[in-house]
Amino acid sequence: MAAHTEQLTRPATAVQLRSLHRSFGDRRILDGIDLELPAGQFTALLGHSGSGKSTLLRAIAGLDHGVAGSGQVAAPRQVSVVFQDSRLLPWRRVLDNVLLGLDGKDAARRGRAALAEVGLEGRERAWPGELSGGEAQRAALARALVREPELLLADEPFGALDALTRIRMHHLLRELWERHRPSVLLVTHDVDEAIVLADRVLVLERGRIGLDLTIDRPHPRSYREPVLGEYRERLLAALGVTEDHR
Ligand SMILES: Nc1ncnc2c1ncn2[C@@H]1O[C@H](COP(=O)(O)OP(=O)(O)OP(=O)(O)O)[C@@H](O)[C@H]1O
User: Domain containing 98 — which CATH number?
Assistant: 1.20.1580.10
Q: What is the pLDDT of residues 96-116, one digit of tens each?
A: 999 998 988 899 999 999 999
Dist CA 29 CA 18 (whole Å): 15
- Is 103 a domain residue? yes
Dist CA 37 CA 52 (whole Å): 18
Dist CA 90 CA 56 (whole Å): 29
- Our mutation pick for probing the ligand 1 site, out of 55, 63, 186, counting the most ligand atoms within 8 A of Cβ, is 55
- Is 158 a domain residue? no
- Domain of 115, in residue numbers: 87-148
- Is 117 a domain residue? yes
- What is the tally of structural domains in the chain? 1
With a cut of 80, say whether residue 135 has pLDDT above it. Answer: yes
Please report the sign of the dihedral spanned by the C-alpha atoms of residue 122, residue 127, residue 128, residue 132: negative
For residue 55, the CA-to-ligand 1 centroid distance in Å is: 6
For residue 215, the CA-to-ligand 1 centroid distance in Å is: 27
- Is 124 a domain residue? yes
With a cut of 80, say whether residue 2 has pLDDT above it. Answer: no
Short-list 236, 237, 202, CA closest to 17 = 202
Q: What is the mean pLDDT of residues 87-93?
A: 97
In a 13 Å sphere around the CA of 186, the CA atoms on its Cβ side amount to: 29
With a cut of 50, say whether residue 231 has pLDDT above it. Answer: yes
Q: What is the pLDDT of residues 30-47, one digit of tens each?
A: 999 999 999 999 999 999
Dist CA 5 CA 53 (whole Å): 18
Across the beta sheet with 183-187, what order do the strands follow? 79-82, 151-155, 183-187, 42-47, 200-205, 208-214
With a cut of 60, say whether residue 4 has pLDDT above it. Answer: no
With a cut of 60, say whether residue 5 has pLDDT above it. Answer: no
Average pLDDT, the chain: 92
With a cut of 90, say whether residue 8 has pLDDT above it. Answer: no
Q: What is the pLDDT of residues 164-198, one digit of tens each?
A: 999 999 999 999 999 999 999 999 999 999 999 99
3-state secondary structure 122-149: CCCCCCHHHCCHHHHHHHHHHHHHCCCC
Q: Is 55 in the pocket of ligand 1 (CB under 6 A)?
A: yes
- Is 100 a domain residue? yes
With a cut of 50, say whether residue 10 has pLDDT above it. Answer: no
Query: How far is CA 228 from its chain centroid?
Result: 21
For residue 26, the CA-to-ligand 1 centroid distance in Å is: 13
